[in-house]
Structure 1
Amino acid sequence: MKSLNTFVLISLCLLTISSVLADLRSFSIDYKNNCFRKDGKPFQYISGSIHYSRIPREYWQDRLLKMYMTGLNAIQVYVPWNFHETVQGVYNFAGDRDLEYFLNLANQTGLLVILRPGPYICAEWEMGGLPAWLLQKPNIILRSADKEYLQAASDWLAVLLAKMRPWLYQNGGNIISVQVENEYGSYFACDYNYMRHLHTLFRLFLGEDVILFTTDGNTDKEMSCGTLEGLYATIDFGTDTNITTAFIRQRRFEPKGPLVNSEFYTGWLDHWGDKHASVDTNKVSKMLGEMLSMGASVNMYMFEGGTNFGYWNGADHDTRFRSVVTSYDYNAPLTEAGDPTDKLLAIRDVIKNFRDIPVGPMPPATPKLAYGFVTLHKVGNISSLLDTLSPQGPVRSQYPLTFEEIKQYYGFLLYRTTLPRNVPEPTPLISPLNGIHDRAYVSVNGVYQGLMERDTGLVMNITGRQGDQLDILVENMGRVNFGSYINDNKGLLGNLILGNDVLSDWSVYPLDIDTAVANGWLQSAHSGLLTEAGDGPIFYSGTLKPTGRAWDTFVKLNGWTKGQVWVNGFNLGRYWPKRGPQQTLYVPGPFLSANQLNNITVLELERAPPHCRILFMDRPQLDNTGNKT
């Protein structure tokens, strides 16, 4: 009996202690003193953006530790919906998608979290994080109170936010605030009913205590459409902005509470064919110091950019379609490979003036190795490998079908038909309604003829005989991630016309290239004797010999034109040295084997160089814009 009483007494004590600790853990807005309060004390966060979806899981801890040692006390994290629900109703939070593991690492490192769960995130990410399967509904109005969109977004948020609730700061986790939607004022819809629905949903799953906020650009229109009563309004701006003017604008929409710049731009993104973007270190450090001196809380976007592996890059469409490059280095304080820069050291020197930074050395850059040249061998063209790449065979249709209609959302589709008549003289093949989304590689009877490109190259001449096989390989270059064009269907969106004939009777082949590469089917398809280059879409493969070390490296495809690279079945992303500015692809050490042959697969879409070699270097090249072919 005595032991039972002791057990009861201890249990009551533990419950009391837990209750007291829960009361001590709080994060709130003090509107009277214009600040945040953490555990009852005034708090200013100094944060940096990092995207777990752009960094190998093996390096999450390394990047977080470097951010902590810089003096940051928080990180800002986007959650890409399409990264976790690629197929509707199927949720993936494993491996590189293990968000809770990432939050736990941040917590162990000593970093608070500002969570940005969308459902739309922009982030220069494919379709702004929205899943492409939404586009199966042709008239859907994304980011609005459209019934079908709202149902899908609500289903997703019910799953995600339930997972996030235990990670809220007041519940013992490290999430101090949660953004609702993202820069909604930049979107044409301006649908307050949509924002009210999200507000209600977030409160339902996260409770009444967590700070919910909005983030919008530095204009009255953006702040007007993006803000909502009950959501704390914050603002975005970079080094080209007057700080006082920007915060006066925030004050017009949020008269009391802390000043917050939710996206202070340390750099900028790159598009293929544009000049490499950079932001001056002195401007960044000077402006950061000024904002912190005002008592503002600041998040630096980006602090570590990472990489658009696979097909995850987004695109912009202002006057024309422009695809975002594979590297998301962003000229950030930590490079794409996670290396500290002079910009990081300058930022750390600023932060020292405002808070005690951790004692100890900054973790060094990860080791890099120049593995040297690898010669690749020709495997075959798309047509010769169709049984491997599209084992289920084609979908037959009188007229072209889009990626979304085929339910293949990323990568490539092959459209095949026959010429309806003899065309002995060069005859225009035309996409009359700009329906090439985004690049089309055209062959007749297996002979490459050339390409068509969205917005810029909608006509090309071909010749052939009636009944000749016409193959059009269409590449999805990433869906628009910002603005009014995010309903960005891919493939052939309309009819193609040859001379005066509308082409019909199509066989559309979904190409599961990633599975074929990952399973080694393409490596086993060639004899290893063919090294000659060819025109048009062709696969090449080779091996990088083990060296006893698996260190980070960068692959350069000098003389190659445009395509995709896989290492040991992992899709590194797109290369396009002819257009630039990016010349190398980042190869993280964890993707390599130190003791076994490393399989290299390249899909070159236009023309490989005669030497068929690629080079593994110990440093990146991100700033060389080639010709615009």
Structure 2
Amino acid sequence: MNARLVFASVLSFSCFVINKNAAQGPQSFSIDYKNNRFLKDGATFQYVSGSIHYSRIPRFYWKDRLLKMYMTGLNAIQIYVPWNFHETLEGVYNFSGDRDLEHFLDLANQTGLLVILRPGPYICAEWEMGGLPAWLLQKPNIVLRSAHTEYLQAVSNWMATLLPKIKPWLYVNGGNIISVQVENEYGSYFACDYNYLRHLRELFRFFLGEDVILFTTDGNTDREMICGTLEGLYATIDFGTDTNISAAFQRQRRFEPKGPLVNSEFYTGWLDHWGDRHAEVDSQKISRMLGDMLAMGASVNMYMFEGGTNFGYWNGADHDSRFRSVVTSYDYDAPLSEAGDPTDKLLAIREVIRRFFPVPEGPMPPSTPKFAYGFVTLKKVGNINSLLDTLCPAGPVQSQFPLTFEDMKQYYGYMLYRTKLPRTLPEATPLISPLNGIHDRAYISVNGVYKGLLQRDITLVMNLTGQQGDQLDILVENMGRVNFGSNIHDHKGLLGDLILGKDVLTDWLIYPLDIDGVIANGWPQWKQAAGAGFKSSNGPTFYTGILEPTGFAWDTFLKLRGWTKGQVWINGVNLGRYWPQRGPQQTLYVPGPLLSTSQPSNITVLELEQAASDLRVLFMDRAQLNSTADKA
């Protein structure tokens, strides 16, 4: 039988999974403080849950992933709602397609999984700006995650849209949501603003009613628990395998003396930044600690159970001593891989769960089919500064001084700043970002010739030569906004003046580039590209190619060996960033449904620095996520 048909037959197995609550009468879910437990329909209940992010998984695969979680023995899932995923532009809401939250909740319900919902408004999650929409930064002096008037108004407007959609899905209303988190790990934030938490508590109660359990989650320190908890919100804790379980739950008990023990984020893995080693967490430690917590009667959510992918520009970043961007893969060393494949870690976890709960009978759904489509040779389309009429059809905005992405209302991706050299520079002259105002990487060209780059916290000076009046182009890349800590007010673009020698550069033409929109509408065509033998260029350049149809469309992994750094689209969909020279991630996950079974699939690459000499990319049947140099 064709492997695709096998996969389809596995998915159809879910029709045998019955939501046992569907035919019952009124449902209830509550906390029994006297006996330190949850009550579900009047009976003691302990959840064993896993985190999964619908925003990081193609809709086509939601059912497959949920079924695998159910067959592992989980009785619940935990999900975030990223505000910026649904309201990218202020007042414009999108709950369709891959953003159809209610469809995801319905699939979970059909599969027999309860839901622990974390609607924010801030979620962290290594997601762009922690889920907060970047348009908030247009509001002068706004203090995010606080009782600042403009922030509270924006939050209230968003929750007035989101929470009514959620209310019918509450377990007490016949749905499958058993509890709802208010904010997220607020104790980790500098503000410690109880008025903000009170506002959220009242907002959630107004829209969701008095019967639903509202809770908080905070890290395993006194400071985090002090600033993150509030009366009327059940306090839970999170910790991983490097923690003493008894000590952690004793800390929860100091802030929540009665009620069930809950670890809301038990870490099965960890995130990767560009340049890190790929994170790994030992399966034996996870199994031992999970068993110990379940034996104590604690409810546990494993973060992550499947991580998925930071498609497009949705990766977040950290800024402690310096800015560090999260990689495209959110594999997280989780029990289900980035591509949704069961791992040995999953099988070990299932054996632990089997000691405490009945695990569904039947086979674990298999990995989705993978295929190595092989090499594809690309053709050069053109340097980015020669394609501005296509990429910015409305033309530039003129400004004496640089404007940020937020000023221009272009929140993600790339923007080009153009000016002229104010005087002749016969000798190397420093171009300086004096206030570290490059957010996050700037690719510099003079008269279309690439000269090098400036980058946040690392490279603040480079040298230029040229003639008075030469065209200076600066392409700025947003590498993802900070998602954690006090630096989430993370503006992008040129945040201040650039100085060339003794001159402050002025009189800018600023091009907001609609790269994603143009590519989604079919640009570039194969025939628009130069000949196959055309050599690669230095600096930001587009390349294109086609993957010939094979009659099937299976998952695959795209490797750009010899390429430096950039972005990839397939059939108009932004797969995310690649950076093999930095690592550890060497391949991009390509979900099979993005490929055509009967027509050529269009590949578009924006290489920012230097393309491979042979202009080839490789489609493989396996991921490579753990190399810090492109040696594989």
Scaled to the shorter chain, the TM-score interval is: over 0.9
Contact 1:378 1:530 in 2 (8 A): no
Q: Which residue of the other structure, out of 564, 568, 579, is the alignment partner of 1:565?
A: 568
In structure 2, C-alpha distance between the alignment counterparts of 1:95 and 1:19, rounded to whole Å: 26
Q: Which residue of 123, 129, 135 corresponds with 1:121?
A: 123
SS in 1 for 2:107: helix
What is aligned with 2:246? 244
Q: Partner letter of residue 396 of structure 1?
A: Q
Structure 1 residue aligned with 2:603: 600
Q: CA deviation at 1:36?
A: 0.2
The CA distance in 2 between the partners of 1:20 and 1:84, in whole Å, is: 33
In structure 1, give the amino acid aligned to 2:460.
L
TM-score scaled by structure 2?
0.96
CA distance in 2, matches of 1:394, 1:19: 56
Shift of 1:348: 0.1
Distance 1:529 1:559 in 2: 17
1:540 aligns with 2:543: yes
Contact residue 442 and residue 476 of structure 2 kept, 8 A: yes
Q: Which runs of 4+ in 1 moved over 6 A?
A: none
The CA deviation string for residues 374-407 of structure 1, in whole angstroms up to 9 with x for no partner, is: 0000000111110000001111100000000000
1:259 alignment partner in structure 2: 261
Superposed CA RMSD: 1.3
Which residue of structure 1 lines up, in the alignment, with residue 460 of structure 2?
458
Does residue 585 (structure 1) correspond to residue 592 (structure 2)? The answer is: no
Partners of 2:25 and 2:294 lie apart in 1 by 30
Paired residues of 2:378 and 2:532 also in contact (CA < 8 A): no
Q: C-alpha displacement at 1:525, in angstroms?
A: 3.0
1:496-536 deviations in Å (ceiling 9; x for gaps): 00011100000000000011111122225324445310100
Change (3 A) 1:374 1:49: same
Q: Which amino acid aligns with 1:610?
A: S
Identify the residue that residue 167 of structure 2 maps to in structure 1.
Answer: 165
Alignment of 1:131-530 (within 5 A): 131-523=133-525, 525-529=528-532
Kindly state the Cα deviation for residue 22 of structure 1 after the two structures are TM-superposed: 4.6
CA shift in 2, pair 1:19/1:324, >3 Å = closer
Structure 2: stretches of 5+ with no match in the other structure: 1-20
| Amino acid across the alignment from 1:146 | H
CA distances 1:425-449 after superposition (whole Å, capped 9, x unpaired): 1110000000000000000000000
Structure 2: which amino acid aligns with 1:269? L
Contact 1:133 1:404 in 2 (8 A): yes
Q: Is the 8 A contact 1:234 1:260 kept in 2?
A: yes
Q: Is the 8 A contact 2:416 2:513 kept in 1?
A: yes
Give yes or no for contact 2:188–2:218 (8 Å, CA) kept in 1. Answer: yes
**Counterpart secondary structure, 2:252:** helix
Q: Distance in 1 between matches of 2:613 and 2:235?
A: 57
Alpha-carbon deviation of 1:20?
A: 11
What is aligned with 2:79? 77
CA–CA distance in 1 between the matches of 2:228 and 2:498? Answer: 41
Letter in 2 for 1:604: E
- Structure 2: how far apart are the matches of 1:119 and 1:520? 35
Q: Hey, what's the Cα distance between the residues in 1 that align with 2:211 and 2:401?
A: 54
Query: 3-state SS of the aligned residue for 2:265?
Result: strand
Tell whether the 8 Å contact from 1:376 to 1:531 is kept in structure 2 after alignment.
Answer: no
Structure 2 CA distance, aligned partners of 1:120 and 1:513?
Answer: 28
* 1:153 Cα deviation from its structure 2 partner: 0.5
> Offset of 1:313 from its aligned partner?
0.2
Paired residue for 1:612?
A: 615
Q: Does structure 1 conserve the Cα–Cα contact (< 8 Å) formed by 2:399 and 2:508? A: yes
Verify the 8 A CA contact 1:79 1:118 in the aligned structure 2. yes
> The residue matched to 1:151 in structure 2 has which SS?
helix
**In percent, how many aligned pairs have the same letter?**
78
The one-letter code matched in structure 2 to 1:597 is P
SS at match of 1:406: coil
CA deviation digits over 1:10-69, x for unaligned, max 9?
Answer: xxxxxxxx999554x100000011000000000000000000000000000000000000
Paired residues for 1:3-22 under 5 Å: 21-22=24-25
Q: How far off its partner does 1:203 sit?
A: 0.3
Distance 2:79 2:24 in 1: 26
**Distance in structure 1 (CA, Å) of the matches to 2:106 and 2:23:** 23
Partner of 1:621 in structure 2?
A: 624
The corresponding residue for 2:104 is 102
Q: Deviations over 1:458-506 (max 9, x none)?
A: 0000110000000000000000000000000000000000011100000
**How far is the alpha carbon of 1:626 from its aligned partner?**
2.2
TM-score, normalised to structure 1, is 0.96
**Whole-angstrom distance in 1 between the partners of 2:612 and 2:70:** 45
Distance 2:501 2:533 in 1: 38
1:370 CA displacement: 0.1
Q: What SS does the corresponding residue of 1:263 show, helix, strand or coil?
A: strand
1:549–1:283 distance in 2 versus 1, CA, 3 Å: same
- Give the SS at the match of 2:163: helix
Measured after TM superposition, the shift of residue 549 of structure 1 is 1.2
Once residues 532 and 56 of structure 1 are traced to their aligned partners in structure 2, the CA distance between those partners, rounded to angstroms, is: 35
Q: CA separation in 1, counterparts of 2:536 and 2:234? A: 58
SS of 1:120's equivalent in the other structure is coil
Note if contact 1:22-1:171 (Cα within 8 Å) is conserved in structure 2. no
The whole-number CA distance in structure 2 between the counterparts of 1:124 and 1:191 is 23
AA aligned to 2:363 is P
Question: 1: CA distance between counterparts of 2:490 and 2:24?
Answer: 49
Taking the aligned partners of 1:270 and 1:440, their CA distance within structure 2 comes to 23
CA distance in 2, matches of 1:238, 1:611: 45
CA distance in 2, matches of 1:237, 1:91: 34
3-state SS of paired residue (1:400): coil
Decide whether the 8 Å contact of 1:46 with 1:72 is kept in 2: yes
Distance 2:163 2:473 in 1: 45
Letter in 2 for 1:30: D
1:93, distance to aligned residue in structure 2 (A)? 0.2
Q: Output the amino acid matched with 1:334.
A: L
Query: Using a 3 Å threshold, how does the CA distance of structure 1 residues 526 and 276 change in structure 2: closer, same or farther?
Result: same
Does residue 523 of structure 2 align to residue 552 of structure 1?
Answer: no
Amino acid paired to 1:218: N
Distance (Å, rounded) in 1 between the aligned partners of 2:140 and 2:545: 42
For residues 206 and 297 of structure 1, what CA distance do their matches in structure 2 show? 23
Give 1:5's aligned residue: none
Alpha-carbon distance between aligned partners in 1 of 2:448 and 2:583, rounded to the nearest angstrom: 29
**DSSP-derived class of the 1:472 partner:** strand
Aligned pair count reads 610
Q: Residues of 1 paired with 2:323 and 2:486: CA distance?
A: 12
- Matched-pair contact (CA < 8 Å) for 2:54–2:98: yes
Relative distance call for 1:365 and 1:207 in structure 2 (3 A) is same
1:307-326, Cα deviation, whole Å (9 max, x unpaired): 00000000000000000000
Question: 2:591 and 2:70 mapped to 1: Cα distance?
Answer: 22
* Secondary structure in structure 1 of the residue aligned to 2:38: strand
